[in-house]
């Protein structure tokens, strides 16, 4: 009985926070299913986007004389080749930001500002990560896999979280009060 009382007190004291977290998890799951798993969108939207990313990486590194070429999802040069595969497309970070913005109770104006500024910023960060990975492959070939999984991906998610917290503090809270 005491446990039930404690649980109901916890639920009523944290109702708003729990609702936000539930909305956040549902929106993240739905967005990830749509953009990350559903085969139609994966093949019709995300795959062409990763091919565009490969061309963008090749173009950027060629500005510094890398001599790289993009073919499909592959970026290759005489010294190093990499594939822009699942997980390199920025879908996870975008879904995290999207879920945070849409789940937070604030005005739709604040949400639209957040999405319009945040999502392109996340994809710019993701492109910078891919360029960094290309150079990591050139300069540190023995640890490129570890850098790829444990460092580069984490940096993108951390920066997306920073963007989300910045939006919460500077945009969502003031516009939500207005």
Partner 1 sequence: MAAGLYVVLLPLWWYSVEGLVVLTSAPADWIYHFFNPKVRIKPDGRVVKIVFNVAGGEPILSGLGLDKVTYGLPMLAALVLATNSRSIKAKARTLIIGIMVMLVLTVPAVMMWAKLSGLQIEENLAGMTAGSRSGFFYYAFHGYAFSQPVVAVGLWLAFLMLGLFEAKRKAEKTPVSRNAPCPCGSGRKYKLCCGRG
Positions touching partner 1 (CB under 8 A) are 14, 17-18, 20-21, 24-25, 28, 32, 36-37, 39, 42, 86-87, 92-93, 95-96, 100, 149-150, 153-158, 160-161
Minimum CB separation of residue 69 from partner 1 in Å reads 26
Min CB(128)–partner 1 separation in Å: 16
Q: Output the smallest distance, CB 14 to partner 1, in A.
A: 5
Q: How crowded is residue 96: how many other Cβ atoms within 10 Å of its Cβ?
A: 21
Rounded distance between C-alpha atoms, residue 165 and residue 100, angstroms = 9
Q: Which is nearer to partner 1, 91 or 110 (CB)?
A: 91
CA dist 43 and 29 (Å) reads 19
For partner 1, which is the closer residue by CB, 68 or 98?
A: 98
The DSSP secondary-structure symbol of 90 reads S
Q: Which residue number, 29 or 67, has a Cβ lying nearer to partner 1?
A: 29
Shortest spacing between CB 54 and partner 1, in angstroms: 18
Residue 159 C-beta: closest distance to partner 1, Å: 10
Tokens matching residue 2 = 């005491």
Closer residue to partner 1, CB minimum distance, 96 or 131: 96
147: Cβ contacts below 8 Å, ≥ 6 apart: 133, 136, 140
Cβ closest to partner 1, residue 71 vs residue 145: 145
Q: Please give the C-alpha separations between residue 103 and each of 19, 60, 67, 148, 172, in angstroms, as whole numbers.
A: 9, 35, 44, 30, 11
Residue 53 φ then ψ, to 5°: -60, -40
Alpha-carbon distance 147 to 140, whole Å? 9
């Amino acid at each position: 009985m005491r446990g039930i009382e404690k649980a109901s007190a916890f639920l009523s004291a944290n109702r708003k926070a729990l609702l936000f977290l539930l909305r956040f998890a549902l929106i993240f799951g739905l967005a990830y299913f749509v953009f990350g798993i559903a085969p139609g969108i994966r093949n019709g939207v995300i795959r062409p986007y990763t091919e565009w990313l490969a061309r963008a990486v090749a173009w950027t590194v060629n500005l510094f004389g890398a001599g790289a070429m993009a073919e499909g999802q592959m970026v290759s040069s005489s010294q190093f080749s990499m594939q822009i595969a699942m997980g390199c497309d920025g879908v996870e970070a975008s879904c995290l930001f999207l879920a945070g913005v849409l789940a937070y109770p604030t005005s739709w104006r604040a949400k639209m500002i957040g999405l319009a500024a945040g999502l392109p910023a996340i994809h710019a960060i993701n492109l910078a990560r891919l360029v960094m990975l290309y150079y990591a492959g050139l300069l540190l070939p023995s640890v490129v896999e570890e850098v790829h999984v444990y460092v580069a991906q984490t940096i993108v998610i951390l920066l997306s979280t920073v963007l989300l917290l910045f939006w919460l503090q500077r945009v969502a809270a003031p516009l939500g009060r207005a």
